[in-house]
Amino acid sequence: MLQVCLNGARSPREHFHLPVRPEELAKAAADSIAAGATDIHLHPKAPDGTDSLDPHAVAAALRAVRAAAPGVGVGVTTGAWTAPDTADRIRAIRAWTVLPDHASVNWHEPGADDVAAVLLERGIGVEAGIYSGTDGDHQFLRSPHRGRVLRVLAEVTDLTARGAPATAEALLERLRPAATPILLHGEAAGAWPVLTIAARRGLATRIGLEDTLLLPDGQVATDNAELVAAATRIIAEESS
């Protein structure tokens, strides 16, 4: 599986084609699926461009993207930065009128088990976000929900091309007891080396403007679809 992460917590000031509004997310999703992505992760935005769990923002984003990419799984974030108080996040999720197929929950953040519980209660798949350099793996392995998640989103937070591969291997080793499908990905300069490891190991992975603005050759990507096209080539090469 190749997931495209369309925007992340970035602002449009960081990239000229960062999708924010529903119609922009829809076009980016359709172009990325055409380029080879098979799943979508996005951050719904408030009018000021910040990440939001507001039911209206979530519904607008999901409706637009599903119309542009029918039949493709679409997920959203529930990161603590969207609403630092766990109770506020839970209230927002309970108020959603249009449900994503899955949502990421960062297990190093306070209230992860409670957020996961309400997502599962509503029939939404949970991606367990486990960041390297945190105790997220230990928290997840003790979680009552560890056997109910859709997959582990193994996030390598080492931003260097040199250090990210070793960090990725260490994170995968720590996650071995979870016995859960893993999506492995990196960030910034570590994005492409980690994606290559995932492809080599036959793991699900992701790419998009959330994780990196640059193509493997260091050039700024035009958009998400160009990143996805580069990723599909690497995956094909490593799988052959």
For residue 2, give the amino acid letter. Answer: L
Task: Determine contact, residues 103/127, Cβ cutoff 8 Å.
Answer: yes
Residue-level pLDDT at 178: 85
* pLDDT tens sequence across 145-179: 999 999 999 999 999 999 999 999 999 999 999 88
Token code pair at residue 85 = 């108080």
Measured CA to CA, the distance from residue 99 to residue 93 in angstroms comes to 9
116-147 per-position pLDDT tens digit:
999 999 999 999 999 999 999 999 999 999 99
Q: Model's pTM, two decimal places?
A: 0.96
pLDDT band at 213 (very low <50, low <70, confident <90, very high): very high
pLDDT value of position 240: 74
pLDDT tens figures, 24-41: 999 999 999 999 999 999
Q: What is the pLDDT of residue 239?
A: 84
